[in-house]
Amino acid sequence: MNLDKLYKLYQEAAGVTTDTRKCGPGMLFFAIKGENFDGNSFAKEALKKGCVASVVDDVEIGKSEGMVLVENVLGTIQKLATMHRRNFDIPVLGLTGSNGKTTTKELIKVVLSNKYNVHATEGNLNNHLVVPLTLLSMPFDCDFLVVEMGANHMGEIAELANIAEPNFGIITNIGLAHLEGFGSAEGVKKGKTELFDYLRSTNNSDGSHKMAFVHGGHPELLEVSEGMKRIIFGTDQEKPRVVFEGEGMRRQFMWNEDGYKSNPAPILLEGDYNLDNISAAIAVGRFFDIERGDITASISNYVPTNNRSQTIKTDSNEILLDAYNANPSSMEQALQSFALHKKHPRLVILGDMRELGTHSMKSHSRIVELCHELALNAIFVGEAFGEVSQDHNTGRFFSSVEELISEIEGGKIKGENILLKGSRGMAMERLLPLL
């Protein structure tokens, strides 16, 4: 079946899925291959669950009734997604960066929703398969699309940009993330700036230039966006600029631009690193004509989820849960902000940072040193921290979350302000019931 016919089938379907657990009447199933599974083997099951067809690339399975045979299912779903995107003459904002992507995306979504029917990446699903699924789940009445783009190796952002074809872009920051895949800090920089490279290389259908939103407080972002059509924000010179006052449950934010200053408003986001995320959302909102009061209210009402910058008050402690992910850049930012704003007694419980490759020992050692420099009472959890423990006489080290759970099961931690952070694979939130 050619792509035009498949697109017509898609338009008539009730939705698309690559997971038979989510199949339902009238849906279109795509048999994607993974490292440990072959979606082709589930194609018949999808039909039994009511799917109108299964798109497969196994020749033998493709001979059965209800199957749509293509050369490569992943490549087909990517091309189909681009075909669907081209039916929309709307703003499409591509968003990437080492830290803060998902929070920035969620803030932009709530701000823009004051005026637009916004469709955005769900959660932090941002890879070469989920970006196409994000596009294909875009309703026909959508008038603004926000696409989060994640990458752990060179060329991945370029591929995602060519699929989604954004006409606006944001790089939240360029830090030390996924060093195992990118190889070096310079590799991360080149990988992330592929989004801006795409915007530079293509124009809008009317001949106008595609545009970037750039935080003026990041010299590297200013450098890689040089010569582009861009909106600069986030500094005393380039507004909007955001500030926090207070801390914990009493934290408020204010922002200003061009003689305007908002009233202080409560906010549930912790950590000074979120100032950049909020600034980005305000800058995008103002460019797209969202009223100032609506922007402030939307950000104030935003409730962080997925273990990101959440303040949790228990009977024993106040906890800043920021355990969705961690890399050297985000860990340093979180520690510095925590040390600056949190009152004593302060305790940090830190889990391993993953995907650092040969940079792992040096990076974990630096985090231990930083905790000592900032005079933070620290507990380190995981094999990577364990490997550097013999070089440091500060902090307590545990080989796993399970080992730490055994240590504190008796309720030994009380009356603390706690930062709980680590890579997703560490699942540091398992400690919450004991804190």
pLDDT digits (tens, 9 = 90+) for 289-314: 999 999 999 999 998 876 677 788 88
Residue 212, pLDDT score = 96
Same-domain status, 239 and 102: yes
Q: Is the pLDDT of residue 242 over 70?
A: yes
Residues 185-197 have pLDDT tens digits of 565 566 678 999 9
28 and 151 part of one domain: no
Mean pLDDT of 29-36: 89
Please report whether residue 77 resides in a domain. no
C-alpha dihedral sign at 190, 169, 173, 378? negative
Which pLDDT value is given to residue 109? 97
**Which residues, listed in sequence order, are joined to residue 379 by a DSSP beta bridge?**
349, 396
Token pair for 220: 């590297």
Six-digit token pair at 87?
């039916």
Last residue in a domain, options 43, 70, 97: 70
325: confidence class by pLDDT, cuts 50, 70, 90: confident
Assign residue 230 the CATH number of its domain.
Answer: 3.40.1190.10
Residues 317 and 421 in one domain: yes
Element (H, E) at 320: strand 318-322
Instruction: Report residue 269's pLDDT band, with 50, 70 and 90 as the boundaries.
Output: confident
Mean pLDDT value across residues 142-164 = 89
pLDDT at 192: 73
What's the CATH code of the domain at 51? Answer: 3.40.1390.10
- Domain presence at residue 113: yes
Angle separating helix axes 156-164 and 185-192, nearest 10 degrees: 10
Residue 235: DSSP 8-state: S
Nearest to 123 by CA among 104, 111, 106: 106
Q: What percent of the chain has pLDDT over 70?
A: 94
The answer to the question of residue 291 being in a domain is yes
Per-residue pLDDT reduced to its tens digit, 55-114 = 999 999 999 999 999 999 999 999 999 999 999 999 999 999 888 888 999 999 999 999
Indicate whether 146 and 280 sit together in one domain.
yes
209 CB neighbour count, 10 Å cutoff: 14
How far, in Å, CA of 232 to CA of 249, rounded? 31
The helix or strand, by DSSP H or E, that contains position 332, with its residue range, turns out to be helix 328-341
Residue 259: per-residue pLDDT: 87
Band (13; pLDDT cuts 50, 70, 90) = very high
Whether 66 maps to a domain, the answer reads yes
Q: Are 102 and 273 in contact (CB under 8 A)?
A: no
**What was the pLDDT predicted at 293?**
96
Average pLDDT over residues 259-277: 89
Cβ neighbours around 370 below 10 Å, total? 18
Q: Do 363 and 215 lie in a common domain?
A: no
Same domain (yes/no): 231, 165:
yes
pLDDT at 123: 64
Is the pLDDT score of 147 beyond 90? yes
Higher per-residue confidence, 326 vs 226:
226
C-alpha closest to that of 300 among 257, 242, 217: 242
What pLDDT is recorded for position 225? 93
In a domain, 206, yes or no: yes
Q: What is the mean pLDDT of residues 210-220?
A: 93
Q: Does 251 lie in the same domain as 123?
A: yes
Beta strands in 48-150 (DSSP E): 53-56, 67-69, 92-96, 118-120, 144-148
For residues 33-49, average pLDDT: 91
CATH number of the domain within which 372 lies:
3.90.190.20
pLDDT of residue 185: 57
Residues 152, 221 within the same domain? yes
What SS3 class is residue 157? helix
Domain C-terminal end among 40, 70, 100:
70
Averaged pLDDT, 268-294 = 93
pLDDT exceeds 70 at position 429: yes
What is the total count of domains within the chain? 3
Q: How far apart are CA 99 and CA 173, in angstroms?
A: 6
Of 281, 301, 321, which residue is a domain's last? 301
**CA nearest neighbour of 29 among 4, 48, 2, 1:** 48
**In a shared domain, residues 388 and 420:** yes
Same domain, 110 and 184: yes
Average pLDDT over residues 115-131: 82
Contact 69, 57 (CB under 8 A): yes
Confidence of residue 153 (pLDDT cuts 50, 70, 90): low
Cβ(93)–Cβ(160) below 8 Å: no
DSSP conformational letter for 216: T
User: Considering the chain, what is the average pLDDT of its residues?
Assistant: 89
User: CA 31 to CA 100: how far, in whole Å?
Assistant: 32
Q: Which residues contact 346 (CB under 8 A, 6 or more apart)?
A: 338, 339, 376, 377, 416, 417, 418, 419
Q: Are residues 322 and 265 in the same domain?
A: no
Residue 65, helix vs strand vs coil: coil
In a domain, 274, yes or no: yes
What is the SS3 string spanning 158-184? Answer: HHHHHHHCCCEEEECCCCCCCHHHHCC
Structural element, H or E, at residue 85: helix 73-85
154 lies in some domain: yes
Q: What is the pLDDT of residues 174-184, one digit of tens each?
A: 865 544 555 55
Q: Are residues 182 and 199 in the same domain?
A: yes
- State the pLDDT at residue 258: 86
On whether residue 82 sits in a domain, the answer given is no
Mean pLDDT of 1-28: 93
Domain that holds residue 330: 310-434
Angle at 244 between CA 238 and CA 124, to 5 degrees: 80
> Higher pLDDT residue, 430 or 208?
430
- The CB-based long-range contact list for 25-31 (8 Å cut-off, 24+ gap) reads 25/50, 26/50, 26/51, 26/52, 27/51, 27/52, 28/52, 28/53, 28/55, 29/53, 29/54, 29/55, 30/54, 30/55, 30/73, 30/76, 30/77, 31/55, 31/56, 31/57, 31/58, 31/61, 31/73
Residue 178: what pLDDT? 46
